[in-house]
Every structure is written in structure tokens, then in C-alpha cells.
Chain A
Amino acid sequence: SQQGEEDPQALSIQEGENATMNCSYKTSINNLQWYRQNSGRGLVHLILIRSNEREKHSGRLRVTLDTSKKSSSLLITASRAADTASYFCATALIYNQGGKLIFGQGTELSVKP
């Protein structure tokens, strides 16, 4: 089963509103990463939050991490139509020097002008 689970699967809001997406994971992590994907294109890295951090900001993005609940949330404030995309959380399972990067199913965000 996947390491990351996200909700909601889809979110539709108006421009100017805030959007919150949640991610849960199953094992211990060193960090958690959030990515954005526009309509079947490559992923763009948004934020990496380390396990010893509780909150991190980048522009209109705010990410929180609760390692006791094994969950993270991504908040986009004052959303714009250009924020319409799919958002994924990802965690790395590192072992034998290598590992796997495991993605959640993603949240599809639609921001209506």
C-alpha cells in the first residue's frame, strides 16, 4: 500500500479563497516533500519540511508536519487560477543507501476565477 494518503481527492474553490490539502503517511520519515503537477506534466517541487520542523512557509504556501500523527498539511492562501493543478506529498523510504520515493494519490485543486 502507498506510504502517503491525501485528502481531499479533489477540491474546487474560488479565487482568493484558501485551499488546504492533507497528507498522511505510515512510517518514520526524515522529511516530507510537496510537489505540484500541472495537467500531466512534470512535477515541480514546492516545499521540503524536515521531521524536526513543525511548520514552514514559502510565499503563499504554508506546510505543517505532525510526526506524532504522521500527517502533514499544505495551505495555499489567497489562491489564484494559476494554482489549478494536482498536489502530491512524497516521503522517502531510505534503506541500503538507496530507497524509494512514495507519493500520495494527490489532491486535484481547481481554482475558479
Chain B
Amino acid sequence: KAGVTQTPRYLIKTRGQQVTLSCSPISGHRSVSWYQQTPGQGLQFLFEYFSETQRNKGNFPGRFSGRQFSNSRSEMNVSTLELGDSALYLCASSLENLDETQYFGPGTRLLVL
């Protein structure tokens, strides 16, 4: 099976702009979760989607949002970008939930100038 794919791999944006990141899970996986990784805060849970529904969200402002489509593909959006949003954004997929093996994509590296 093809692995988890994320697009784009690299992005440069300026403060105030918005960005949309995409994640295609492994075929048959219905749970998709997103993470932000920074040197200072480490790996932090953003949100998880299952069957087009957000099941939970981490401690992030409302500028961070996402959605999942009927084919389980997911997008996350960050509006009004701030310098502190510069990070590696990772998505992961699994069959049903977070309590099982997660398969991660390569990540999208976002730089906000």
C-alpha cells in the first residue's frame, strides 16, 4: 500500500497570510490526526478526524482548523499566520483511532516570514 502523503513538502509564507496543508492517508484508514513539531514545544497534537468528523482538538487557537473528506483525505488550514507558526506539520493515519499504530507522512515544513 502507498504510505501517507503530504503536500506541499515546503512552504514559505508571510505573516497574516493563510495556508492549507493536505494529507492523504493510507487506503482504508479512517482516522487522520495532525501534529505540530517545533524545537521549543516538541510534538503537539492538533486534531483528529474520523469519518469526516473532528473528534478532538488540541490546545491551539481557532486560527487552526481542519476538515476531512469522504475519501478520508484531510486538510488543515492556518489563518492569519504568525511567526510562531513556523514548524513541521505532520499528519498520521490509522484504521480507527489513536490507540493503535500511527503511520506518519513526511511532513510539511512551513516557514513564516
Contact = CB atoms under 8 A, between A and B. Distances in A.
Nearest to B6: A42
Interface of B is mostly: strand
B28 interface: no
The dominant DSSP class at the A interface is strand
A45 interface: yes
Interface residues of B, number: 28
B104 A42 contact: yes
Given A30-B99, A100-B45, A41 B50 contact: no
A95 to B, nearest CB: 8
Interface in B21-74: 33, 35, 42-45, 48, 50, 54-56, 58
B52 to A, nearest CB: 13
Given A40-B109, A43-B92, A99 B101 contact: no
Contact of A94 (B54, B97, B107): B97
A96 interface: yes
Contacts of A45: 101-104
B98 interface: yes
A17 B88 CA distance: 31
B56 A100 contact: yes
Nearest to B88: A40
B42 A103 contact: yes
Interface of B: 4, 33, 35, 42-45, 48, 50, 54-56, 58, 88, 90, 92, 97-107, 109
